[in-house]
Homo-oligomer: A and B are copies of this chain.
């Protein structure tokens, strides 16, 4: 492969001139043309390794996430990538698997490769140590959780209010024993969401039972087990909030396996993904602005790359409550089943209502049912919170 000397020779200039042409120095246009022609001719590509060595930094930034199978991260990755590409940076994804050791390895790699920056979803609040990077001047932005080791730029979703809003929604629907399946205690996100959940219970006029809380691992299997255990209680919950989408999937599976399903049991979850719309009845979710978080993180990174000494920022992005699926409110709080669109909306499929001889008097009951044909748009209430 041609190197810069070959090009210089072909264009009859010095290697430095070739470099200037390619990196924007001042070169007479005639020479520049010669250089460009020669580079094209020889198929010259600057060696990024050599450039990295000389410049002591590369044009690659690392995105270290804890679970590549979680759609939240894939959306996040897109956000990061789109912003990075606009600044001519490549993004590489590193899957740390929630394992602090693996994560430390990748942090090492990022350091040793002189990466342009790191966006990290810290595996652990306590163990994740990014000081080595910071000492070397490599900008680091934390996402969703923030590591203990240093104060750095952080982008999070407004999880507490999201959890609060969705919990209130469940309580308002008439559920009495709302449980929460949350993540490990080490995860600050899990704790923050739990806090919102508990706050909703304290504030409501709902009975003051101490709500059940199960701690799982943010994985499908963990959600399944937690839900199963909750259901085995003497007084099982009648609704559950899962603090991420994978555990929600597990919880749903557990419910299905026992023949229970919404709205008999209410289910809500953090993390909006396309499949949560396909489950019937669809899940009510707290949509996390994953893509936007990624964007914001990348932008913070770029800003800090340019001006390293600004004060670390802490960005909080709003979540959004997406209400889908059936409500239990009618049954629970209203004497007569006026039902109504607000209550059933999307719940067409799974409702337990006896399909008695009562006929499809759709309009009469006010039920907004898919009537068989047509309709692209899904009824969707304007968000309860922005």
A261 surroundings in chain B (CB, below 8 A):
348-349
Stretch at the interface among A19-27, A150-158, A303-311, A367-375: A367-375
- Return A2 CB to nearest CB of chain B, in Å: 12
Does A95 belong to the interface (CB within 8 Å)?
yes
Question: With A and B bound together, what is the CA distance between A229 and B50 in angstroms?
Answer: 54
Does A136 belong to the interface (CB within 8 Å)?
yes
Question: With A and B bound together, what is the CA distance between A350 and B279 in angstroms?
Answer: 10
Assuming the A-B contacts A78-B95, A114-B49, A349-B350, are A278 and B257 also in contact, with contact meaning beta carbons closer than 8 angstroms in the complex? no
Question: With A and B bound together, what is the CA distance between A176 and B256 in angstroms?
Answer: 31
A370 surroundings in chain B (CB, below 8 A):
256-259
- Interface residues in A264-295 by Cβ distance below 8 A to B read 273-275, 277-281
Does A249 belong to the interface (CB within 8 Å)?
yes
Stretch at the interface among A68-76, A187-195, A313-321: A68-76
Question: With A and B bound together, what is the CA distance between A90 and B224 in angstroms?
Answer: 32
Stretch at the interface among A29-37, A40-48, A165-173, A210-218: A40-48
Stretch at the interface among A105-113, A122-130, A200-208, A331-339: A105-113
Q: Are A49 and B113 in contact (CB under 8 A)?
A: yes
Chain A interface main SS type = mixed
Does A16 belong to the interface (CB within 8 Å)?
no
Question: With A and B bound together, what is the CA distance between A376 and B255 in angstroms?
Answer: 10
Q: Are A48 and B92 in contact (CB under 8 A)?
A: no
Does A52 belong to the interface (CB within 8 Å)?
yes
Question: With A and B bound together, what is the CA distance between A274 and B246 in angstroms?
Answer: 9
Question: With A and B bound together, what is the CA distance between A169 and B288 in angstroms?
Answer: 39
Question: With A and B bound together, what is the CA distance between A58 and B92 in angstroms?
Answer: 15
Residue in B91, B114, B249, B378 whose beta carbon sits within 8 Å of that of A278 in the complex: B249
Q: Are A95 and B111 in contact (CB under 8 A)?
A: no
Residue in B45, B106, B278 whose beta carbon sits within 8 Å of that of A275 in the complex: B278
Q: Are A112 and B47 in contact (CB under 8 A)?
A: yes
Residue in B77, B113, B279, B374 whose beta carbon sits within 8 Å of that of A279 in the complex: B279
A257 surroundings in chain B (CB, below 8 A):
370, 373-376, 378
Assuming the A-B contacts A257-B370, A349-B280, are A45 and B111 also in contact, with contact meaning beta carbons closer than 8 angstroms in the complex? yes
Closest B residue to A45 by CB, please name it. Answer: B112
Question: With A and B bound together, what is the CA distance between A60 and B1 in angstroms?
Answer: 20
- 18 additional A-B pairs beyond A47-B53, A90-B109, beta carbons within 8 Å, are A49-B112, A49-B113, A60-B109, A69-B78, A78-B95, A90-B105, A92-B92, A93-B94, A220-B274, A224-B376, A253-B278, A256-B278, A275-B278, A275-B279, A278-B279, A279-B280, A280-B350, A355-B355
* A interface residues, Cβ below 8 angstroms from B: 1, 43, 45-50, 52-53, 58, 60, 68-69, 71, 74-75, 77-78, 81, 90-95, 105-106, 108-109, 111-114, 132, 136, 220, 224, 228, 249, 252-253, 256-261, 273-275, 277-281, 348-350, 354-355, 369-376, 378
Q: List 25 A-B contacts (CB under 8 A).
A: A45-B108, A45-B111, A46-B112, A47-B114, A48-B109, A49-B52, A53-B53, A69-B75, A71-B71, A92-B92, A92-B94, A228-B376, A249-B274, A252-B278, A257-B370, A258-B373, A258-B375, A259-B370, A259-B371, A259-B373, A275-B275, A278-B278, A279-B279, A350-B350, A354-B355
